[in-house]
Chain A
Amino acid sequence: MLYFSKLRIFSVIIFTLILSYFSLSNFFKIDDNFFSKNIKLGLDLQGGSYLLLEIDNKPVITQKLQNKVMELKNFFKDKNIITRNYTVDDNSIIFDTTPDKSDELNNILDDDESEINPYYQQYKSHEFDFVKNQDSFKLTLSKYGLVLLKNASLDQAIEIVRRRVDEVGTNEPNILKRGNDRILVELPGLDDPGRIKSLLGKTANLTFQFITQNTEESFGTEKLEFEDGSENAIVSKRIILSGDNLVDAKPSMNSQTNETVVSFTLDRVGAKKFGKATSTGVGKRLAIILDGKIISAPSVREPIIGGSGQISGNFTFQSATDLALLLRSGALPAPLNIIEERTVGPDLGQDSIDAGIMSLIIGFILVVLFMIYKYRVFGVIANLALISNLFLLVGVLTIFEATLTLPGIAGIILTVGMAVDANVLIFERIKEEIKSERNPIIAFDSGYTKSRTTILDANITTLIAAVILFFMGSGPIKGFSITLGVGILTTLFSVYFIARLFTAFYVIKNKEKESLI
């Protein structure tokens, strides 16, 4: 165990130097593309906001079912199958058909080539599961139909969230999918997430609908509140224009009223629709509705054909800016709820870094002194291994650009405390071996050999704990498991290659000495 080939010595030195270089590159600015990797600081250290959003898919499902009803009606009409008595509840559609057609309808829904109820080969499932009860059919979204629907709405939502966050211009936001109905938003450096939260909390469904007195309107009517809650109005369900037709929106000043407004520009289709509706509706009040509330309802004085317009509504400059931003970034497919929020101010983050580094330095010094006191020369060797272990650990974290959190720093300190264990096991074993073996080189050799299984056992148990934490833990805790786990690997390397190399040099040089250890 004490023999090292020249090649091995060379590789150990090179490996250690490269990793040390990486770890040092965190502290000095190095202008080099290959080496310019850095450990990322977690939100708990650099300050920032962590938001977990959950998408409320109920409206998406309802919308889907309603669209499906229209589809079914048209589809069966074309096939000359009479269907009637459609009802929609939370997650299913029920309808009847005539007795002579019910088997045919059953076959259509069950067909793997079915156009109306697509079959997903990879999931071995239709979009809708259905139950036939004589002439009545009940269609329920299948498990995979639901998953696909949720995934689609999540993908869309994440895109909108990204646009909104980007528009606010925080630095390096991190937006990730979590499961099939959650979005994780990390905003480094942001200590007041109030504005982002209010932007993400709005679906931003914009519609233009006429206010009507006539409750017998063919499209149906609904009663909506004004945003300020001051009054109600009855509006036609006919949607003149929706936010989808907007190509741009920005806050501006209306020169006549001196009021802050949001001016918008429409796409070609939108401009056409808007022009047509405003020419026939001169004199009527056009309600501008955002998320089910009327922002304002100006009277149409003349046809608006230019494809641009203004929204007024007692805006401050800030609220006009926000509304414009929401309209530019588009509507969310469904409302988002913030179900978890963690915000750390930048000065607390800095305090944590300072405290973490302080305790690392003190813990390190204590362990180093203790080892020298206990083992003298071999204590120094163990300490050299410990120092290189730290460089290796930080180097590996740098190469993988791991995120360092406060518990992660604790994991490094803990590694310092536990890393000497392997060397202690070896040294104690050598002490025992020397009692019965006069040749120090053989004694050292068997000390290393006999302690090896114990050291592996002892480290594997800790590694198991670290791996489980990595997969089960979240955020800061994950950071702890990374430093703990990587720490075990670098410890084994530093003990078996670095400390052993030094030990070999020392023992071979001093083999004539009376008491070596």
Chain B
Amino acid sequence: MREISFNKFYKSFNILSIFLIITSLILLAFKGLNYGVDFKGGTLIELRTDLNSANIKKIRDSFNQLNLGDVSVKNFGNDTDFIIKFEKQNSNDPKFIDNIKTKLSGSIGTVDFRRVENVGPKVSAELLQSGIIAIALSLAAMLLYIWIRFEWQFSLGAIVALFHDVIITLGVFSLFSLEINLSIVAAVLTIVGYSMNDTVVIFDRVRENLRKFSDIKIFELTNISINQTLSRTIITSATTLLALLSIFIFGGEILKGFSLAMILGVIFGTYSSIYIANPILVILKVSQRTIVKEDKD
């Protein structure tokens, strides 16, 4: 197979990545994330209306009359299903949901409450905290693992690639105001695992080649290693994406955000293994001596 010169574009893609990361950080700092009820607290109702006559405006008007604070109404999957979210939550009042149901059926006909989630402020704060801890912990665990397995230059490359993927994925979620809920945290953790997995495969090859060839510069060597592992990278990304696309398209509305985050993560993860992790080895001037020294220890 003809060799592709990935290394020619290290610089340009690094600049692109830096731009994307800065944009994402700015978005995260100023626009922030659209937290769902899991992390913000409040009430979520998924309802199915009987008639097609119910539209978003009508439902929003009916909810606004109930004095529930800020109400958001969205179509969910098809014309008869809606997701309604509002800040007020009063799960202690056993009649709270029933009252809403009764009042709604007066204005828009029979409604079926398919899902009700009611999260108090204390719980949502705790869920957010444990979500952040989970992500931080997994990053730390990856760092530890890669630090034990590889030389520090490799660890740094893998970790930077990891942060790159997580930050840009969250940046996309911020840009399009996609909802962050518990399943997104699970997706981010899986992205962390996948991104690491992808980087480790190339790095293993780089290290193997470093042992074999003492006269090839790291700039060339990374390119050789990327090419040698390229068909694996493509096939694995392809099968994973096929599985994820299948969830995204057929898996129902609830899994949409989760599978979208994963799809983005796999794309960025594959890209970063090539264009972030490897250039860092070049910048850090990794050579045969780097690993020989370690091997002697």
Residues of chain A touching chain B, judged by Cβ–Cβ distance below 8 Å, are 44, 51-52, 54, 192, 194-195, 197-198, 201, 337-345, 347-348, 351-352, 355-356, 358-360, 362-363, 366-367, 370-371, 374, 406-407, 409-410, 413-414, 416-418, 420-421, 424-425, 428, 432, 453-454, 457-466, 468-469, 472-477, 480-481, 484
Contact = CB atoms under 8 A, between A and B. Distances in A.
A477 B252 contact: no
Given A356-B252, A465-B192, A340 B246 contact: no
Q: Which of B117, B204, B254 has the most CB of A within 10 A?
A: B254
B250 A359 contact: yes
Nearest to A371: B239
Q: Which of B92, B118, B204 has the most CB of A within 10 A?
A: B92
B242 A417 contact: yes
Contact of A413 (B185, B229, B247): B247
B139 to A, nearest CB: 10
B186 A416 contact: no
Contacts of A414: 190, 240, 243-244, 247, 262
Contact of A453 (B92, B204, B236): B204
A511 to B, nearest CB: 24
Given A339-B120, A339-B122, A480-B183, 17 more contacts: A194-B95, A341-B91, A341-B116, A342-B118, A343-B113, A343-B117, A345-B112, A348-B114, A352-B254, A355-B250, A366-B242, A367-B242, A420-B236, A424-B236, A454-B201, A477-B183, A481-B186
Interface in B63-119: 91-92, 94-95, 97-98, 112-119
Contacts of B185: 473, 477
Contacts of B196: 461-462
B182 interface: yes
Contact of A351 (B138, B235, B252): B252
Given A355-B251, A476-B182, A413 B243 contact: yes
B244 A417 contact: yes
A484 B250 CA distance: 20
7 contacts: A340-B120, A341-B91, A348-B115, A371-B239, A421-B232, A432-B228, A473-B186
Given A194-B94, A465-B193, A344 B134 contact: no
Nearest to A414: B243
A407 B190 CA distance: 12
B145 A464 contact: yes
A192 B116 CA distance: 10
A348 B235 CA distance: 35
Nearest to B95: A194
B55 interface: no
A360 to B, nearest CB: 8
Contact of B97 (A194, A344, A417, A418): A194
A428 B229 contact: yes
Given A410-B251, A477-B182, A340 B192 contact: no
B252 A484 contact: no
Contact of B193 (A351, A366, A462): A462
B178 interface: no
Contacts of A339: 91, 119-120, 122-123
Give 6 closest A-B pairs by Cβ, nearest first: A417-B243, A363-B246, A355-B252, A465-B193, A198-B94, A472-B134
A366 B246 contact: yes
Interface string B122-137: 1100010011011001
Contact of A344 (B114, B119, B193, B200): B114
Contact of B231 (A338, A356, A428, A484): A428
Contacts of B183: 407, 476-477, 480
Contacts of A52: 123
Contacts of B251: 355-356, 358-359, 409-410, 413
Contacts of A469: 134, 138, 186, 189
Given A410-B251, A477-B183, A480-B186, A197 B193 contact: no
A424 B232 contact: yes
Interface string B214-231: 000000000000001101
B240 to A, nearest CB: 4
B292 interface: no
Q: Which of B112, B149, B200, B205 has the most CB of A within 10 A?
A: B200
B14 interface: no
Q: Which of A201, A416, A418 has the most CB of B within 10 A?
A: A418
Contacts of A463: 193
A421 B238 contact: no
B259 interface: yes
B41 to A, nearest CB: 9
B255 interface: yes
B147 to A, nearest CB: 13
Contacts of B241: 417
Q: Which of A363, A416, A466 has the most CB of B within 10 A?
A: A363
Contact of A425 (B46, B192, B232, B240): B232
Contact of B142 (A461, A472, A475, A480): A461
Contacts of A453: 204
Contacts of B23: none
B269 to A, nearest CB: 11
Nearest to A458: B197
Given A339-B120, A417-B240, A469-B134, A345 B193 contact: no
A484 B190 contact: yes
Contacts of A367: 239, 242-243
A472 B254 contact: no
Contacts of B95: 194, 198
B273 to A, nearest CB: 11
B258 interface: yes
B249 interface: yes
A356 B235 CA distance: 24
Interface in B136-170: 137-138, 141-142, 145, 149
A431 to B, nearest CB: 8
A348 B118 CA distance: 17
Contact of B235 (A342, A355, A424, A462): A424
Contacts of A351: 252
